[in-house]
Structures are given as C-alpha cells and as structure tokens.
Amino acid sequence: MPRFIKIIFKIFLFSLFTPFSIALAQDEMISVDNWIRIIENKEDKDFKDLLAVEKEFENLDPNAESLALKRIEELSPKNDRFFLVRLKYLLAKSKLRSFYPAGLELIVPLMDDLIQEAYLTEDDLLTAQCYWEFGSVMFAYNQFDLAVSYSLTSIEMREKLVDPKNLFLDYIQLGEILFHTRDYPGSIKYTRRGLVLSQFPKNGGASYIRYLNTLGQNYLQLDRLDSAAYYFEVAFKHAAELENQIWMGINSSYLGQVSFLNGDYQKSKSQLFFDYQVNKTNEFNIAGNSMRWLSKIYFERDDLDSAKLCVNESIALLQKLDGKIALQTSRYLEEAFYLKSEIFKKENRLDSALHYFQRYSELHNANEGSALLSSNQVTKTKVSNEKNRFALWTVQQEIAEEEKTRNILIVSIFVLSVISGLILFFKQRQLKYKNEIFRLQKAADDAELSLVKNQIGIFTSKLLEKAQLIESLEHKFIEKEFSEERQQYLSELSNQKILTDEDWQKFKGLFEKLHPGFFSLLKEKFPDITLAEKRIAALIRMQLTTKEMASILGISEASALRTRSRLKFRLNLSSEINLENYLINL
C-alpha cells in the first residue's frame, strides 16, 4: 500500500473515533460533576441520594470505580467536612466490595474513622447515619455485637431528630440483628414497631413474610408456642397466596417444630417433610434443620434406623454451605452432631457416640465463643459505652463553647467583680462537667462489671455441662466389658474432663476482672501456694459446691475436699475460721 494511502487511512480512523472518545470523556466528567453535587448536598441527610451513587459505583468495573473516586477526591471542595465524611463513606464501601467476605480488620478502622470525622461536623443527623451504616456493614460480616451497638445508637439518636415513621425499615433490621444476639424481647419490640409504622399491606410480598417469620422465631425461642404458631401460620398463608413455595416451606418447618414441642408428632412429621421436599435444593440450612427435627421424632419413637437416615441427611445438607455457614446454621449442625451421638449411645455403639460427641463439643465450644462475644450483655455494654462517648463529646463541645463565651466576656468587660463572678461561674460549670464525666465513667465501669459476671457464669456453666455430658458417656463405657480399645477411649474421656491450660487462662482473665488482685494477693501472702490450690481457691470464692468444683477440675469429690483441706492448711486458718468467708473478704 503506497505511503500516502496509509496516511489518508490513519486520518480517516482518527476522524472516526475521536468524536466517540471526546463524548466518553465528556460523559465521565458529567457523571463526576453530578456525583460531586450529590455528595455535597447537605439536604441529603438520610443518605438516600448518596446510596443511589453507591449503586452506580457497584455497576462500574473496579478500575473505573477507582478512577472515578480518585477524580472526585481531586475535585472535592476544600475544608468541607460534610463532603469529606460522605466521600469517606463511598471509599470505605468501595474497599468493602473489594475484600468482602474477607477484610474485616481493614474495614473496621475505615468505618471508625468515618464516625470520628462525622463527629467533627457537629451534625447530629449525619453522625447518626454514619453509625447506622457502620452497623449495617458489621451485620454483613456477622459481627452482631458491633452491629447492635452502632445500629441501636443510631436509632436512639435519630428518633430525636426525624419522624420515627421514616425509620420503619431500620427498626425491622435492628430486630433481626437482635435476634442473632439472643435478645428475643428486644427483637420483638423493634420488629413489631417497624411493622406498625410501615403500614405494610397484608400482601406485602416476601419481605412482609420474612418479618412475620422473624416474630415467630422470637416467640419460639421464648417458648411462647401459641404466639409463635400464630405468626408462622399467618406467614404461611401469605406465602401460599403469593405462590412462594420457598417461604411456604420455611414456615412449614417452624410450624413442625411447634407441633413437635406440643407433642403432636404426626402433624409435625408432615410439616417438616413438606419443607424438606421444597427446600432441599433451595434453602439447605432450613431443609437440614427440618430433617434434624424429623430425626428427633424417630428417636423418640425408638426407630433408630430412620432417625439415623434423617440425621445423616441433615448433616449433609448443612455441610453443603461450606465456608458460608452462619452462626444459626452452625448451631443446627452442632445439634445434629449431638443427636447422632445420642442415637449411637442408645445403640450402645460407644466409639461412634464418642466420635460425634467430640465433633459436637468442638463446634459447640466455637459457637458459644461467638455467642459470648455477641451476647446481649456484651452488646448493651458496647451501646452504653457508645452513649457515654457521645455524651462526653457533647460535654466537651459545651465546655469549648462556654470557654469561648467566657473569653469574649472577659475581653469586653473590664470590671473585676464581673470577671470574678464569671470565673466562679465557670469553675462551677467545670465541676459539673467533671461530675458528669465521673458519672458516665462509673456507668461504663458498672456495665463492664455486669458483663464480666455474666461471662464467667456462662463459662462456668459450659464447663459443668461438658463435664456432665462426658460423665454420661464414661458411665456407658464402664458398663461394657474391658478391652484395650475401650480403655483408650476411657483415657481420652478422662483427659477431656480436666480443665485445660487454655480454659484456665480464659477463666483466670474473667475472674481477675471480677475480683482484681485476688491471685496476686494470694501469691504475696502465701508464696508457696500451688496452682491447684489457687484454682480451688477461685472456685470456692465463686461459692461453687464441692461436686461442681470436682467436675470442673476433672477430679473426684474426695480429691476436691483434700485440695480444699490443703489450701486451708496453707493459709494457716484455724478450724473455727470459715474458708469461704476468708476468701470472700480477702
């Protein structure tokens, strides 16, 4: 091809594509300008328009989204904290999309920084909305303790600033979060409030069915079976009207559980099997749980072969979720392992019973660890601390404002008596604020103490429960004739009963918070005291019975009594002095 023809061809291509490139660049600039206008719009306090921008970003590919955010940062107005907070929100959500479901340790600092910036705007509604978004992100990560903390703080702040009718969806979401922290009365309270304020039509779709089901589950957990059955039946009816088979199955599963608890096994069986048929290819966790309850029916009727078939199917369905198992589903799986252990125990297949008991125990401990962090007491403590944080910030703002007023007055008025009066006034105010800060700090300390008492109680009860379960299996083994294999299993069981070093460290940490300096004081007064004596001293301080102490320590009651006697001798106590009273008053 001659050279001049090549040149003409290139000119043609340039003229053909250049207008499109310019148009694309102009469209990008128009979008960025529009996004900037929305981000800086101070009337958008509920984030409605900002969330629409976030949706647009979700539809961009990661590179385009990154470039757009970078361009917005470059063009952002200087010294506009409102704009900065909302931009930081978009940046945090962009990171979330990049890392989710991993990256929690990276997201939390970003969201925390967002709230700190929101505080500096002195815009209460903006701050409250940031709290809500933080809570929603934590809910997505199954961090229910933080989700409740930030969501509840946001709700309480916004209730003073906007019409509660505008919060109906947030009330319902808060109810769902509270269900996962086992605060069932709180979940009922906020879910019902949301439904009343929403004025949902009776045929309000799958969302309405889900909210009714949440109420039913709460009443089921509270053992209020009539109320639970009512909400499940209403939800089932609406699902049937919409021909929504999945939700019909879900509510049938829960109705089956109610029927089981009411002793109507035949009705329960048909309700549970209906859900299994519907949801075995849709909602694995619900279908798996239905099969577990079916297994319980057969177990109660001593049909152990059918019970095993059902529990095996339950475990298979629940394990299909792999790494996506939520806390509730994990509890279903834990209970399925325990049921299978009970089936084998009833068949006197003790090696298999031990195997599934160990699987139950491992999952149970993991679930209870998560639940402990997400318990209602933990949540209430965090909420209390957040309230204190907000109140302290308000106090500091008032102090700063009044100091500014004081300085203006001092400069304006040169009368010594007035200055003296002002100084006295502000000293009184300062004292008031110090007292307020002291009160808030004491409230936080009291809440933390209440939390620790609850935690140590849960921890102790779980150790006792574990010891009782293992003891039951141990008795079964002892009844069987001797063999080396059974001797090995007995040895494993005995080892499991002993309070491990890890258990002791957890217990000691909680105990030290509840009774600061107890162990160090014992060591200081009695340098030769042994670890076993320290452990028994702590359990005596908790006012546990000899049998409970023996179970937790994995020793006989006689051994526990001997250790108690050695401790009393170590402390040089006469027979007239009560050991328990001495340790309580130490």
Of 361 and 22, the one with more pLDDT: 361
Is the pLDDT at 9 greater than 50? The verdict is no
pTM of the prediction? 0.64
The pLDDT, as a whole number, for residue 510 is 77
The pLDDT, as a whole number, for residue 27 is 46
The pLDDT, as a whole number, for residue 472 is 64
The pLDDT, as a whole number, for residue 14 is 46
Best mean pLDDT range from 166-180, 326-340, 477-491? 166-180
Is the pLDDT at 18 greater than 50? The verdict is no
Q: Which of 79-93, 135-149, 482-496 is the least confident region?
A: 482-496
- The mean per-residue pLDDT over the stretch 524-544 comes to 89
Residue-wise pLDDT tens digits, 400-433: 666 667 667 666 666 676 666 667 766 676 666 5
* Number of CB atoms found within 10 A of residue 102's CB: 10
Distance (Å) of CA 200 to CA 122, 171, 188: 35, 14, 17
- The mean per-residue pLDDT over the stretch 20-30 comes to 42
Q: Which of 6-10, 504-508, 572-576 is the least confident region?
A: 6-10
The pLDDT, as a whole number, for residue 391 is 53
When the candidates are 1.10.540.10, 3.30.530.20, 3.30.450.40, 1.10.10.10, the CATH number that belongs to 510-586 is 1.10.10.10
Would you state the torsion angle of the CA atoms of residues 342, 346, 348, 349, taken in this order, to the nearest 10 degrees?
-40
What confidence tier does 191 reach under pLDDT thresholds 50, 70, 90?
Answer: very high
Q: Look at the block and give the residue holding tokens 């209906």.
A: 274
Q: What is the largest CA-CA distance in the chain?
A: 118
- The mean per-residue pLDDT over the stretch 182-201 comes to 86
* Radius of gyration for the alpha carbons in the chain, expressed in angstroms and rounded: 32
Is the pLDDT at 293 greater than 80? The verdict is yes
- H/E stretch holding 296: helix 284-300
The first and second tokens of residue 278, run together, are 């519907």
Cβ-Cβ contacts under 8 Å for 522 (sequence gap 6 or more)? 529, 534, 537, 586
The pLDDT, as a whole number, for residue 432 is 66
The letter for the amino acid at 576 is E
Cβ-Cβ contacts under 8 Å for 240 (sequence gap 6 or more)? 248
Residue-wise pLDDT tens digits, 218-233: 999 999 999 999 999 9
Choose among 282, 284, 221, 281: nearest CA to 257. 221
Cβ-Cβ contacts under 8 Å for 31 (sequence gap 6 or more)? 56, 68
Is the pLDDT at 168 greater than 80? The verdict is yes
Distance (Å, rounded) from C-alpha 462 to C-alpha 503? Answer: 11
The pLDDT, as a whole number, for residue 455 is 67
Distance (Å, rounded) from C-alpha 549 to C-alpha 507? Answer: 13
Residue-wise pLDDT tens digits, 31-55: 788 888 888 888 887 788 888 888 8
Distance (Å) of CA 558 to CA 494, 509, 571: 16, 28, 20
CA 565 to chain centre: 44
- The mean per-residue pLDDT over the stretch 146-171 comes to 89
- The mean per-residue pLDDT over the stretch 1-7 comes to 50
- The mean per-residue pLDDT over the stretch 475-501 comes to 58
Distance (Å, rounded) from C-alpha 453 to C-alpha 141? Answer: 28
User: Would you kindly state where each structural domain of the chain is located, as residue ranges?
Assistant: 35-141, 510-586
